Amino acid sequence: MTILKSMTRRALMGIAGAAMMTSMMPAAGFAQDVTIPIIVKDTTSFYWQIVLAGARAAGKDLGVSVPELGAQSESDINGQISILENAVAGKPAAVVISPTEFKALGKPIDEAAKSVPIIGIDSSADSKAFTSFLTTDNVQGGRIAADGLAAAIKEATGKEEGEIAIITSLPGVGSLDQRHEGFMEQIKAKYPGLKVVADKYADGQATTGLNMMTDLITANPNLVGVFASNLIMAQGVGQAIAENKLGDKIKVIGFDSDEKTVGFLKEGVLAGLVVQDPYRMGYDGVKTALAVSKGEKVETFVDTGANLVTKANMAEPKIDALLNPKVN
């Protein structure tokens, strides 16, 4: 059985479709007998690299070995299940995980929790076995996006009216479903003049978001707004808006940030970004896992917060820290 402490930075696991994983070898001075793996959805995504950076910093501060694990795509559900099973087999003190898919990860997490404490971050799963869960209130995040989109449309047109769309990266992902729920509820409750004319689901690829947005532009000439509910979709939708020079006509609110989407925000391609605190999720996830492994009492749910970032407030110190986290 693979021992977590000996994993290389890019170790290939040939189980259930070969998932690529990353791991940090314990630095000198780390408590070799305390290992807390963190399993993210996609090690190649900037968002998840921020989460891993937070976890890495916690490991260093707390003297804990924190193997950094994850598949190379959020759609690799079987890969993440295999990674979880192998991580648990290494008998760590606890495991921190962000489940890729709500239903599919439920039973694997139930099974894992029979052996070690499981700390959830970011996205939930169909399981009640999490000892603690740290995440953005994604329903509220969806509401924030709806308010931001309505405000941007009003600023551009003078009224909160018109045709809008929502593009979701993948179906069945807990956090994305909750953002969708909050957005749709807020639009219905507060903005009767905004009509959702398209509700699309992609496949987790930015190019798909680009193609979907391009098709929407053609099919809906009166479109005034779009909510792209995660980083990958914000990249693709933003690219379509940029290529068609429609930033003034179609207002887009994205979710999460990286260099590309922040650039789009500065250029006026995107009207706003709902930004979480992934660094905190990673850091506090490991911190909470260590506390649980010591038998300490922890909160069962922690809201790590979300903020609407616009061109007007992006230079504020609090917002700047969220947009420019220390990844190394």
**What string of DSSP letters covers 265-292?**
HHHTSSSEEEE--HHHHHHHHHHHHHHH
Q: What is the DSSP letter of 6?
A: G
Q: Is residue 211 domain-shared with residue 289, that is, in the same domain?
A: no
Same structural domain, 155 and 216: yes
pLDDT tens, position by position, for the chain (328 residues)?
333 333 333 333 333 333 334 343 443 344 458 999 999 999 998 899 999 999 999 999 999 999 999 999 999 999 999 999 999 999 999 999 999 999 999 999 999 999 999 999 999 999 999 999 999 999 999 999 999 999 999 999 999 999 999 999 999 998 999 999 999 999 999 999 999 999 999 999 999 999 999 999 999 999 999 999 999 999 999 999 999 999 999 999 999 999 999 999 999 999 999 999 999 999 999 999 999 999 999 999 999 999 999 999 999 999 998 998 878 7
Angle at 284 between CA 132 and CA 296, to 5 degrees: 55
Q: Is residue 54 part of a domain?
A: yes
Contact 242, 213 (CB under 8 A): no
* Same domain flag for 166 and 232: yes
Would you call 170 helix, strand, or coil by DSSP?
A: coil
Same domain, 102 and 131: yes
Q: Does any domain span residue 51?
A: yes
In a domain, 321, yes or no: no
| One domain for residues 266 and 181 | yes
Work out how many domains the chain is built from and give that number. Answer: 2
Per-residue model confidence (pLDDT) at position 327 = 81
Written as one letter, the residue type at 242 is A
Let me know whether 130 and 243 are in one domain. Answer: no
What dihedral do alpha carbons 65, 66, 71, 74 form, nearest 10°?
Answer: 170
Does residue 27 lie within any of the structural domains?
no
Find the domain containing 178 and state its range.
138-275
pTM confidence score: 0.78
Q: Are residues 85 and 187 in the same domain?
A: no
Domain assignment present for 94 = yes
Beta bridge partners of 119: 96, 132
The count of C-alpha atoms lying within 13 angstroms of the C-alpha of 321, restricted to the half-sphere facing its C-beta, is 6
211 within domain boundaries: yes
- Closest by CA to 298, choosing from 289, 286, 310, is 289
Using DSSP, state whether 39 is helix, strand or coil: strand
φ, ψ of residue 126 to 5 degrees: the values are: -80, 65
* Short-list 146, 120, 145, 125, CA closest to 135: 120
Give me the pLDDT at residue 8, please: 35
124 and 230 in a single domain? The answer is no
- Looking at the fold, whether 83 and 96 belong to one and the same domain comes out as yes
The tokens for 3 are: 């021992």
Backbone angle region of 300, left / alpha / beta, with phi > 0 → left and psi within -120 to 50 → alpha:
alpha
* Predicted pLDDT at 12: 34
Same domain, 186 and 254: yes
Quick count: other Cβ atoms within 10 Å of Cβ 5?
Answer: 16
Sole residue written with tokens 């179906």: 171
Cα separation, 180 vs 216, in Å, equals: 18
Asked whether residue 75 is domain-assigned, the answer is: yes
Q: Rounded to whole angstroms, what are the CA distances from 191 to 41, 103, 200, 201?
A: 34, 32, 20, 23
| Same domain membership, residue 235 and residue 203 | yes
Q: Are residues 143 and 217 in the same domain?
A: yes
Give the pLDDT of residue 267. 97
Where residue 76 sits, what CATH number does that domain have? 3.40.50.2300
Per-residue pLDDT, 328:
72
Is residue 161, in this structure, part of any structural domain at all? yes
Q: Are 37 and 90 within 8 A, CB to CB? A: yes
Q: What is the pLDDT of residue 13?
A: 36
Give yes or no for a contact between 196 and 164, defined as CB atoms under 8 angstroms apart: yes
* 275-303 b/e (C-beta count within 10 Å ≥ 16 → b): bbbbbbbbbbbbbbbbbbbeeeebeeebe
